[in-house]
Amino acid sequence: MLKRSSPHVHTQFCDGQSTAEEMVRSAIAHGFVSLGFSSHALQDFDLDYALDGEGERQYIDEVSRLQKRHAGDLRIWRGMERDSLSIARREPFEYVIASVHYVACPDGSVFPVDGDAGMVRDRVQAFYGGEGLRLAQDYYRLLGEYISAYQPDIIGHFDLVMKNNRDGRLFDASSPAYVKAATDAMDAAITGCSLMEVNTGAIARSGAREPYPSHPLLSYWRSIGGEVILSSDCHLARDITAGYETGEAAIRKAGYQKAAFLGRRDELFEWCRL
Ligand SMILES: [Zn+2]
Ligand SMILES: [Zn+2]
């Protein structure tokens, strides 16, 4: 079994429901050896969801306080989940998960691919002629370019565009065109970062049956030399390990021999054999 840990946790500093202190208490109660906070990083739009300048300062202060206060309980890491449109500096943070949530429309607006299903469907109708595949292609192009250029520590929820594709309502995820868009993005991404999270957040929050990324992509990632780390993308303290059995099973099924977890001391990552 993997060591208990998560590099991907949200709190009331961004769109999470629990305080940072509640998250730490839940992590301790669940036997965590380490915990990484990853607030949605500073951006200049959609501020209900991400940190603003003052929020970033408060977040850094609070995580730093918890690091000292709980030094004898578990290693706490001060991270961020940084969208491709974020304006956050990297220096104040000990690690970065890089994710793409938004795609740009021809009229200059942006929308989150993991937003409300009806909104996403309307945007696909208005900007992609009703072809969800074109949305997926845009999303993956952006993701591959971002990871390759930014070189984060961890790649976030690789196939997030699947969130609103239940029953194939936006595109056929087994079609060669979709698979090519996703695997081309993996080929680009691995030039910037070799560690991808296996993210169980949607299992707890929207009833998904498998983590991000889906099995074929998780297998492809291994085939090109990629590594994985299990994460809960938790927004509510009691869900801190939600979906972990399914996530660990997915990692094994895809053939991985080991997985990373956030380090217990100074090294950012340690490894667990499977
Ligand atoms: Zn995210
Ligand atoms: Zn997240």
CA 99 / ligand 1 centre spacing (Å): 6
CA dihedral 48, 75, 2, 209 (to 10 degrees): -10
From the CA of 156, how far away is ligand 1's center (Å)? 6
Helix, strand, coil percent values for the chain (each to nearest 5): 40, 20, 40
pLDDT in tens, 98-121: 999 999 988 889 999 999 999 999
- The per-residue pLDDT for 204 is 84
Q: What tokens were used for 256?
A: 């991985």
Please tell me the number of the ligand nearest to residue 8's CA. Answer: 2
Q: Ligand 1 mean position to 81 CA, how many Å?
A: 7
- Ligand nearest to the Cα of 113, by number: 1
| Nearest ligand, measured from the Cα of 14 | 2
Q: What is the pLDDT of residue 43?
A: 94
Interval 36-83: pLDDT, tens: 999 999 999 988 889 999 999 999 999 999 999 999 999 999 999 999
**Interval between CA 144 and ligand 2 midpoint (Å):** 18
Domain range holding 262?
5-273
Q: How far is the CA of 242 from the centre of ligand 1 (A)?
A: 16
Q: Say how many domains are in the chain.
A: 1
CA of 127 to the centre of ligand 1 (A): 23
First to last CA, the chain: 7
Structure tokens given for 116: 């409300």
Positions in the chain whose pLDDT score sits under 70:
none
Give the domain CATH number at 60: 3.20.20.140
